[in-house]
Amino acid sequence: MMTETARIPQTFEGWGVTAQALNTLIDERETCLWVVSPSIQKTDVFKALPSEIMHHCITISGEPNPDDVDQIAETYRKESIDCIIALGGGSVMDFSKALAGILNSDTASVMDYLEGVGRDIPYELIPVRWIAIPTTPGTGAEVTKNAVLSKPGLFKKSFRDDRLIADAVVLDAQWLSFLPKSALAATVMDGLTQLIEAYTSTQNNSTVDALIASVTPGLFDVIERLIDDSLTHDDYHHLARAGMISGIALANCGLGMVHSYASAVGAYTHAPHGVVCARLLPKVTEYNLERMETDSDGYQRYVNWTYWLNPLMRVEELSQTFAGWVRALNISPLGDYGLKRDNCVKIIQETLQKTNPVDYDIDSKLQLLESELY
């Protein structure tokens, strides 16, 4: 059977390399549009970036909305933007990706291309070049081809095309050090979830297996130091690299039941994506392991991944370890973010399970989700 690996962008990596990388990537004659998280824009490091490429700058907070993408596109089309520079978390990456996809058209709306809720028009544009500088270590959006956009209470869907993958990634772990612990914890749990779900996916492949195996060892100790507020520069590097590889992994292998829930939960509640992943990972892991034969490929993959995470830990301890981290990181139940009994049914109706190693019936999906009400 032939497998295909998605394109991986040109990558610059190192502590404090942002300015150096941008000087390499940007011609002074180019007009740049920066898309930035508000908190990052206030840092001294951002203020010290090369002034000659600071042409236009917008800030993005909260989940990216398709109406906002269209509005910004309309505003900046007349500016002849050559490059978009995305500096922020997953929302900034998704917004920038979608914006890059439609900015070269005089009339295109992102709703032309949004899966399931859009106009289902084939994507035939040439995106504006864009550079990703992730400031969180878990979404992996800097290396995927889909921009996730949402309207609260209505949908959370993707604009997806291979041409939307970033042209370059600057993996500067210094930006992670500015994150509040709660935000860092949630995005770390998102990346952790992507690594394990991609590795145990029914669409796993050997190339991605090797990448996952390169970053999973050591994560156990890094997360323990995150809990203890004792992260080092090397730890931030490890988290940044693991987050990017988790994005490569999901782009190539798909994901499991946690992320199947996460998209719909994000549409009907105000729970941050990483919080959803953190809360559901222990429960989905336990459910999957209880329903797999111990000699199955899926079960053995859980065993392998557990060994990489911590050679002293047995696979039977995995779900409880995740649950312990969630408690130690003070990540609240989804009921605190607006999950209610009456929207649980809507959520499970939109919860697919394409590459999860275990099938869930409707009752099981509902019972697991309702356990997060309190």
Q: What is the pLDDT of residue 6?
A: 84
Q: What is the pLDDT of residue 153?
A: 86
d(CA 53, CA 85): 10
Residues 6+ apart with CB under 8 A from 125: 101, 102, 104, 105, 108
Query: Sorting pLDDT into bands at 50, 70 and 90, what band is 1?
Result: low
Per-residue pLDDT of 167-213, as tens digits, reads 999 999 999 999 999 999 999 999 999 999 999 999 999 999 999 99
pTM score of the predicted model: 0.94
CA pair distance 303, 342, nearest whole angstrom: 37
Chain segment 137-179, per-residue pLDDT in tens = 999 999 999 999 999 889 999 999 999 999 999 999 999 999 9
Q: Are 110 and 70 in contact (CB under 8 A)?
A: yes
| Domains in the chain: ranges and CATH | 10-175 (3.40.50.1970), 180-370 (1.20.1090.10)
Q: Edge to edge, what strands does the sheet with 83-88 contain?
A: 10-13, 168-171, 129-134, 83-88, 32-36, 56-59
The Cα 197–Cα 206 span in angstroms is: 15
Average pLDDT, the chain: 95
